[in-house]
Amino acid sequence: MLGEVAALTAAFLWALAALLFSQLGRSLLPLGLNLAKGAIALLLLALTLLVLQRPPTGLVGGALVLLLVSGGVGIGLGDTVYFAAINHLGPRRALLLETLAPALAALLAGVGLGEVLSWSAYLGMALTLVGVGWVISQRLPPGAEVSPSPSYRGIFYGVLAALGQASGAVLSRAALADTSVDPLWSSLLRLVGGLLLITSLLAGQGQLWPQLKPLGSARVLLLVGLAASLGTYLGIYLQQVALKYSPTGIAQALTATSPLFILPMAAFLGDRVTLRAVGGALVALVGVVLLIKG
């Protein structure tokens, strides 16, 4: 059960981090926030590897390339548009859209690896889409909730983030399954891949230092450090443990339970959580379970 427990713990930590990232979105743009949290998490992972003295076993050419590309796609691009989705939708809806990742991962595996899906898997995908759509389409009166109302741009960012996560998970699974690669090393390499892409994009736009300027605030730096420690350092490591010790579908499905963890958190912070929101999240997660069993 190591992989399953790791996946559920990661889901809980991502729910906490999503609330912090929603606060940081007021001070940092998505690319700058992604670079800052990734750099902090990379430093923490490097120190952990140094203290534990874990050797980089199994990191042959193929696995190395897969993990770097996985980081570029899943962290560099995926996390950046995820932060944009949080800014446009709020953390609760942005996390709900992440439940699309298992279905997208299954489709990518079907196209790229020739895996055949059963009827129950397709039913699971349909239920996931229905549950997500049911919540996203709900509009409450102005002032009834803390999170912003849904927008087409926010939904686009959320779907794109789920696609990035799914792509990154499939690539990570290919590098980790039946190999001796340590999840700590795979986490570090994925972060390196993501940071290389983000740095290149910001440097090309001449926006590297301007986007990091808000980190001069002690409050912003503290929040980024806390969010990076929970959601990136611990979250990505636990996700890699889940992908190593459990099948991709199960790992993705259990990490997709973050919307259930964030519902009481959002309600505590003043967001109006309706029965429709709870029902939609549950329908989406039932779809994820069917997808796994298929």
Copy the structure tokens of residue 78. Answer: 């995926």
Q: Report DSSP state, residue 182.
A: -
**Per-residue pLDDT tens for 261-278?**
888 887 777 777 778 878
pLDDT of residue 77: 93
Copy the structure tokens of residue 221. Answer: 């730096």
Task: Tell me the pLDDT band of 147, cut-offs 50, 70 and 90.
Answer: low
**Whole-number mean pLDDT of the chain?**
82
**Range of lowest pLDDT (29-33, 129-133, 210-214):** 129-133
Look up tokens 């986490």; give the residue. 187
Judged against a pLDDT cut of 60, whether residue 3 lies above it is answered with yes
CA 52 to chain centre: 26
Is 272 buried (19+), middle (13-18) or exposed (0-12) by CB count in 10 A?
middle
Q: Are 257 and 138 in contact (CB under 8 A)?
A: no
CA 173 to chain centre: 15
Whole-structure pTM value = 0.80
Query: Alpha-carbon distance 13 to 6, whole Å?
Result: 11
Judged against a pLDDT cut of 70, whether residue 148 lies above it is answered with no
pLDDT of residue 150: 67
What are the CB-based long-range contacts (under 8 Å, 24+) for 211-215?
211/28, 211/29, 211/31, 211/32, 211/35, 212/32, 212/35, 212/36, 214/27, 214/28, 214/32, 215/28, 215/36
pLDDT of residue 294: 62
Judged against a pLDDT cut of 60, whether residue 143 lies above it is answered with no
> What percent of the chain clears pLDDT 90, i.e. is strictly above it?
24
pLDDT of residue 131: 78
pLDDT of residue 261: 83
Judged against a pLDDT cut of 60, whether residue 140 lies above it is answered with no
**Residue with the larger pLDDT of the pair 150 and 203:** 203
Task: Tell me the pLDDT band of 198, cut-offs 50, 70 and 90.
Answer: very high
Q: State whether residue 247 is helix, strand or coil.
A: coil
Task: Tell me the pLDDT band of 76, cut-offs 50, 70 and 90.
Answer: very high
**Residue with the larger pLDDT of the pair 23 and 117:** 23
pLDDT of residue 51: 92
Task: Tell me the pLDDT band of 50, cut-offs 50, 70 and 90.
Answer: very high
